[in-house]
Amino acid sequence: MKSILVVIPALNEEATLREVILGVWRSLPEADILVVNDGSTDATETISRSQGVILLNHPYNMGIGATMQTGFLYALEAGYEMVVQIDGDGQHNPESLPALIQPILEKKCNLVIGSRYLSEEGFKSTLPRRLGIRFFTCLVRALTGKRVTDPTSGFRALDRKVIELFSEEYPSDYPEVEALVSAHKHGLTFQEVQTTMRHRQGGISSIGIWSAFYYMVKVSLSISVGFFRRTK
């Protein structure tokens, strides 16, 4: 089996993608890199090809859930033991990758979340995001019994068991929180590690006051339905 696949979901990330790829290679030179291009209309595909990474293209924008599931399916079929998810917009610092994967290597858990908030001096996000994160922290704790300080973080590492689960079922929209509840429901374990994150290096965030409210309502309903549905 192959060891580590770093999956970079990318939608119009021409301003930052090259530096993210180079940063991953500096921190995890042993890893393979897969860019899943989610229907970008800029130079994302061209940059990916120029860097020599594995590239999969969606014919149109399918959303982050489908983009990551494409990565999980590729990892499953190619026989990787671990997948690392890192965003293409430069927010996730590749220097944190060794700390992110360490609990998986030590077999302490099945899934690791890179948290911005384990340290009191951590990342300072916008008010809508802070409200959403606080809400989902309470929801995840109520459903799993575990406190997660950064449940919406998309900076993650997961082992083969989680790859298999997420290849079969993965939320289509705003998947991060729901995926944690699903992993717990299937008997898989997760923990957080402190990671450094930066402000978005390119593009514009889609999370405002109203989108944050929609996010909370939609994900809460989806989690509730999934949690009380029988496991196969």
Categorize the per-residue pLDDT at 204 as very low, low, confident or very high, splitting at 50, 70 and 90. Answer: very low
- pLDDT for 231 equals 55
Report how far residue 194's alpha carbon sits from residue 175's, in angstroms, rounded to the nearest whole number.
21
pLDDT in tens, 105-164: 999 999 999 999 887 665 556 666 777 788 889 989 999 999 999 999 999 999 999 999
Residue 225 has pLDDT above 90, yes or no: no
Instruction: Enumerate helices (H) and strands (E) in the chain, giving the number of each.
Output: 8, 7
Q: Are strands 54-58 and 32-38 parallel, antiparallel or unpaired?
A: parallel
Report how far residue 148's alpha carbon sits from residue 220's, in angstroms, rounded to the nearest whole number.
16
Domain 2-228 has CATH 3.90.550.10: yes
Helix (H), strand (E), coil (C) string for 90-139: CCECHHHHHHHHHHHHCCCCCEEEEECCCCCCCCCCCHHHHHHHHHHHHH
- pLDDT for 227 equals 62
Categorize the per-residue pLDDT at 193 as very low, low, confident or very high, splitting at 50, 70 and 90. Answer: very high
Q: Which residues pair with 55 in a beta bridge?
A: 35
Q: Are strands 2-10 and 80-85 parallel, antiparallel or unpaired?
A: parallel
- pLDDT for 205 equals 47
Range from 15-29, 30-44, 118-132 carrying the lowest mean pLDDT: 118-132
- With a CB cutoff of 8 Å and minimum separation 6, the contacts of 49 are 55
pTM of the model: 0.88
pLDDT in tens, 44-88: 999 999 999 999 999 999 999 999 999 999 999 999 999 999 999
Average pLDDT of the residues in 179-207: 80
Tokens found for residue 195? 């990671």
> What is the average pLDDT score of the chain?
88
The percent of residues in the chain predicted with pLDDT above 70, rounded, is 82
Pick from 27-31, 116-120, 171-175, 198-202 the range whose average pLDDT is largest. Answer: 27-31
